[in-house]
Amino acid sequence: MVNSLCMTWAAAQVAHERSRTATNPETQADQHARAQHAHELTQQHYDALLALLTASVPDDVSAEAFLPVQPLPTGEVAIHARDDRANSVRLKLTGVQALTVGAHLTAYAAISLDRSGLKVAEALPPLPADPAASVHPAPSPPGGTGPAPVVPGTPPPAVPRPTIR
């Protein structure tokens, strides 16, 4: 079903481009009609796939209440996800592994955006005018292990410390 959806979508894109670049009105009309027919088939395949997926996904699927990505006190990173049978999966990565996965995901996201016609710069929020003003030290980790890292963004509100008498 997915293959049929992809094939009809590709056929529609080819026919549309041939229609756009046709040198005579007959070819343009023929390719336009082919593109319209392929778009209709693509919509039918999409609707059938959507119905199949909707029927196979449990009704109680929802966003997780916890962070899907968590930094652990051990210096590792935990990723919480669900497999294709809705079983909970927890993946623990070292910091280096997490950076590698993040870099690959970022690169693939940029490629996907570019292929879909969006430019990466259009999808990202604008940079602040004064980068120095938007960087602040993060709160010290519990137990005072090491210096506090520098974190981009607005600093969190100050929390008053209780006085010990």
Q: Is residue 130 domain-resident? A: no
Average pLDDT over residues 126-137: 57
Domain of residue 52: give its range.
2-56
* DSSP 8-class letter at 86: -
- Co-location of 98 and 48 in the same domain: no
pLDDT in tens, 112-122: 877 888 777 77
Using DSSP's 3-state secondary structure scheme, residue 52 falls into: helix
Q: What local confidence, expressed as pLDDT, does residue 50 receive? A: 82
pLDDT in tens, 57-68: 666 655 555 567
Q: What local confidence, expressed as pLDDT, does residue 91 receive? A: 84
Per-residue pLDDT at 87 exceeds 70? yes
132 vs 94: CA distance, rounded Å: 30
Final residue belonging to a domain, choices 33, 56, 79? 56
Q: Is residue 49 domain-resident? A: yes
Provide the number of structural domains found in the chain. Answer: 2
pLDDT level of residue 7 (50, 70, 90 thresholds): confident
Q: CA angle, corner 56, sides to 52 and 58, nearest 5?
A: 140
44 vs 36: CA distance, rounded Å: 12
153 vs 131: CA distance, rounded Å: 9
